[in-house]
Amino acid sequence: MNKERLINGLNQDLAHEYQAVIAYTVYAAEVAGPFRPTLRAFFLEEAADELKHAQMLADKISALGGVPTVEPAPVPQATSPRAMLEAVLAAETETIERYTTRMAQAEEAGELALVAQLHEMIVDEAHHKEEVAKTLEGFPE
Ligand SMILES: [Fe+2]
Ligand SMILES: [Fe+2]
């Protein structure tokens, strides 16, 4: 029961990592204005991290006997650089909350290696979130 709940939760997490890869990839392509070079480099770097997270989750779901989802969570459309950063900040905040819940579930299921991996991903996502929050300070409308 614990394991089934964990696999379902990890599949939700995987769908959101796909969402993050898509959002960062599309935002890197579309971001315009004087901050494009900086924001594009930032989005590309994040996309690479999120892809690693997606692979880790898919591997774990499969190892636990589940089937990794092939469906991303819906990707928010954003046109202005500010809207992109706000969408990313909301997504990173939600992701940290989901991984905190998942860590507790992994612990209950006795999956200690997964607990460590989720811990590592929380560190990555917190870094993403903090960088975006700093970038948004005083960012033009
Ligand atoms: Fe991620
Ligand atoms: Fe992230």
> Tell me: the pLDDT tens digits for 81-90?
999 999 999 9
Flag whether 88 is in a domain.
yes
1 pLDDT above the threshold of 70: no
Q: Say how many Å lie between the CA of residue 24 and the centre of ligand 1.
A: 11
72 and 50 in contact (C-beta within 8 Å)? no
> Tell me: the pLDDT tens digits for 92-132?
999 999 999 999 999 999 999 999 999 999 999 999 999 99
136 and 89 in contact (C-beta within 8 Å)? yes
For the chain, what is the domain count? Answer: 1
* CATH at 61: 1.20.1260.10
Q: Say how many Å lie between the CA of residue 4 and the centre of ligand 2.
A: 25
Flag whether 12 is in a domain.
yes
78 pLDDT above the threshold of 80: yes
> Tell me: the pLDDT tens digits for 52-70?
999 999 999 999 999 999 9
Flag whether 141 is in a domain.
no
Query: From CA 47, how far away is CA 51, in angstroms rounded?
Result: 6
Q: Say how many Å lie between the CA of residue 108 and the centre of ligand 2.
A: 25
Q: Say how many Å lie between the CA of residue 39 and the centre of ligand 1.
A: 18
**DSSP line for 68-81:** ----PPPPPP--SH
* Prediction pTM value: 0.96
**Domain of residue 72, residue span:** 2-136
Q: Say how many Å lie between the CA of residue 20 and the centre of ligand 2.
A: 7
